[in-house]
Amino acid sequence: MGKAQKEKWAVPHFNVSDLDQLRGIAEAAGKLRAPVMIGVSEGERAFIGLRQAVSLVRDFSQEFRVPFFLNADHTKSVAAAKAAIDAGFDSVHIDLSRESYAKNVAGTCAVVAYAKKKKRGTNVEGELGYLATESSKVYKGNVVVDPATFTKPDEAVRFVRITGIDRLAPAVGNRHGIAANPKKLDFALIKELRRRLPKKVALVLHGGSGSGAPAFKKAIAAGISNIHISTELRMADTNALKESLQKNPDEITPYKLVEPSQEAIRKKAEYFIKLFGAIGKT
């Protein structure tokens, strides 16, 4: 993250729900020699399995000889964060952004303290301000983002200082999923946060899907060094699978049906790795 911040590129963070998505991303990262964060939300890691996710990501990292970092994305409780740390996750995102500021600080502090106690080098991400949407999906209508929910620089400075987190996920006009209306990121706010926060604390952009190439480039230039992509991967995966099922109605071999999905994920991951400037950064 520090290297990305200094050199003005961003580490891609891709959420996965199954083995096919993970392999597609791993192939893209291996081909382009790019470091990648693999994210699993509470629902995704419940489906895959905590320890299974750790083993899979480590194995793919060894196979393709590029650094993959496993992140427990959007963890909503201290207990769940501790479980991810115990399972061997490289990173934990403790998301208490919809709680009161005091509860957010207390819970995040508890996770940071636990990670340090375990001495496994687990990176901890906190979140401040909250997004208008909570789920990575396609919204049919417009989604209104209230500027009052954006991260306030003064609070962010205190939050980082008190909690001791390694990464901060701010609310800067971003939102999860893709809606009918375009996202409008507050680049001035990103710049202000980057200016006022310690350099060792990385800024993370959640809800990246659908933002568009120009916005991503401006966000990176403003100080973002880690970008999350989920919805666009899910769309590529499911659209390819639907087409595969329609073209092969008599096929009953699952791995043959999902091959197009894996290829679609690989192409989409390659696109974002290139866009974020992460090629050859291993």
In a domain, 137, yes or no: yes
Find the catalytic residue in 18, 20, 59, 73.
Answer: 73
> What's the whole-model pTM score?
0.93
In a domain, 280, yes or no: no
In a domain, 229, yes or no: yes
CATH value at residue 263: 3.20.20.70
Percent of the chain at pLDDT exceeding 90: 83
Rounded mean pLDDT, 71-80 = 97
**Torsions phi, psi of 46, nearest 5?**
-70, -35
In a domain, 136, yes or no: yes
In a domain, 59, yes or no: yes
- Which stretches within 164-229 are classed as H helix? 187-196, 213-222
Q: Pick left, alpha or beta for residue 119 (phi over 0 → left; psi -120 to 50 → alpha; otherwise beta).
A: left
CA distances from 246 to 134, 138, 240 (A): 31, 22, 10
Helices 19-32 and 50-64, packing angle to 10 deg: 30
Which domain, by its residues, includes 120? 2-275
Average pLDDT of the chain? 92
Beta bridge partners of 94: 75, 126
Task: Give the model's confidence band at 270: pLDDT under 50 very low, under 70 low, under 90 confident, else very high.
Answer: very high
In a domain, 281, yes or no: no
In a domain, 282, yes or no: no
In a domain, 42, yes or no: yes
Domains of the chain: total: 1
Catalytic status, residue 73: yes
Quickly count: other Cβ atoms within 10 Å of residue 191's Cβ. 15
